Amino acid sequence: MNTGLIHTTVLLQEAVDALLGQPQPAQPQTFVDATFGRGGHSRLILSRLRPQDRLIAFDKDPQAVASAAQIDDPRFSIRHQDFDGIGALAAGSVAGILMDLGISSPQIDDPGRGFSFRFDGPLDMRMDTTRGQSVAQWLADAPVNQIAEVIRDYGEERFAGAIAKAIVARRQERGAISSTTELAQLVADTVKTREQGQNPATRTFQAFRIFINAELEALQTALAASIDVLQTQGMLVVISFHSLEDRIVKQFIASQAREQVDRRVPFAPAQTLRLRALGRVKPSASEVSANARSRSAVMRIAQRTDA
């Protein structure tokens, strides 16, 4: 475990302000940091909570859980599970949920995790290294059509078919790809044109990471669960870093922020709105200048309405 890697939390003040901005009743309140990471948001939340409040954090990465163990605060607890686990919390028990999606800098910058094409390392990419297949294990057997579908759907890569064919051809000739640099070079050799300033392997690495961790499926489950878990006037704050995530969040909030009419039963009462959309926030120019990884972040804020 590389403990020297640093993570700069994106939209730190803005996210915590949105989460805690509503007046709190006298009784104890529970908040959720659904993606602990290295705890930037959690630590600021704790600094602003009252003695009677509590914070529950989730993270599937064992290294993140180990980092959370360093927090000595009776109001705080960490659960080693993906953020879709929030559905196990009691209905109407939570005053606010924060989701900071995607990957953290320590994960990217640790060659042993296999997330980055900038370093030579094992082709793993699992956020939870205690379970599931690594990318290398999956690519050792995956059929070409499945590989192409993953690259296309999760990476929005127009050369998905060619990359998938090259991966399978390489597997048949010399064995499966096992390292990040091998995969990055194969993609570079296959993709003859590239977006300016972007490594040709960027979209493929993103696609494999999202697929192997079932990130979009977990997001959809967590968003659906948040409706039941949040109490009336509870806050939902979600930070996304690429268009696939943000599209899901945007569409979910929109679908819950308007009345739903069942066209099959036109005279039935419309389903009342369950969320109120409160806005969209992007990092400031100064934050982007200080932390280039924040440039693609989008934070969406919504509030649970009366049931």
Report the DSSP pairing between strands 298-304 and 275-281: antiparallel
Stretch(es) of the chain classified as CATH 3.40.50.150: 12-105+215-304
Q: How far apart are the first and last CA of the chain?
A: 45
How would you write the pLDDT of the chain (307 residues) with one tens digit per residue? Answer: 444 455 678 999 999 999 998 888 889 999 999 999 989 999 999 999 999 999 999 999 999 999 999 999 999 999 999 999 999 999 999 999 999 998 888 888 899 999 999 999 999 999 999 999 999 999 999 999 999 999 999 999 999 999 999 999 999 999 999 999 999 999 999 997 777 778 999 999 999 999 999 999 999 999 999 999 999 999 999 999 999 999 999 999 999 987 555 556 555 555 668 999 999 999 999 999 998 888 999 999 999 997 5
Q: What is the CATH topology of the domain spanning 12-105+215-304? A: Rossmann fold (3.40.50)
* Cα–Cα separations (whole angstroms), residue 281 to 103, 219, 300: 19, 19, 6
DSSP designation for 195: -
Contact residues for 93 (Cβ-Cβ < 8 A; gap 6+): 30, 229, 231
Stretch(es) of the chain classified as CATH 1.10.150.170: 129-212
* Cα–Cα separations (whole angstroms), residue 80 to 44, 76, 188: 21, 14, 36
Backbone phi and psi for residue 254, each to the nearest 5 degrees, phi listed first: -60, -40
* Measured distance CA(10)–CA(64) in Å, rounded: 17
Q: CATH number for the 129-212 domain, one of 1.10.150.170, 3.10.450.50, 3.40.50.720, 3.20.20.210?
A: 1.10.150.170
The reply to whether the predicted model has a pTM over 0.85 is yes
